[in-house]
């Protein structure tokens, strides 16, 4: 059976794009946590690199994907193919 590589999936890249906004300082963890209705601590661990995207909860991933969908045009986010 072939192993699944989640890092190549479009939704993974959406989460990655949101995290990159935080790392770059474009947005605060408070803003995304509030908008996405997830814990600020979940966002902070991703931003600081103490947690990896592939290890976040399904609920957090869905919230960040939805945040991306709602805001990608506003922040000119694109996913690299």
What does the pLDDT look like over 9-59, one tens digit per residue?
889 999 999 999 999 999 999 999 999 999 999 999 999 999 999 899 999
How far apart, in whole angstroms, are the C-alpha atoms of residue 43 and residue 34? 11
> Where along the chain do its domains lie?
19-71
DSSP-H helix ranges across the chain: 10-24, 29-36, 40-48, 58-71
How far apart, in whole angstroms, are the C-alpha atoms of residue 43 and residue 48? 9
pLDDT score of 81: 62
């Amino acid at each position: 059976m072939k192993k699944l590589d989640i890092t190549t999936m479009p939704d993974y890249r959406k989460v990655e794009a949101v995290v990159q906004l935080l790392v770059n300082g474009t947005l605060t963890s408070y803003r995304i946590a509030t908008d996405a209705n997830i814990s600020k601590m979940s966002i902070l661990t991703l931003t600081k690199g103490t947690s990896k995207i592939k290890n976040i909860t399904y609920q957090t991933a869905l919230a960040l994907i939805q945040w991306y969908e709602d805001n990608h045009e506003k922040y000119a986010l694109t996913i690299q193919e």
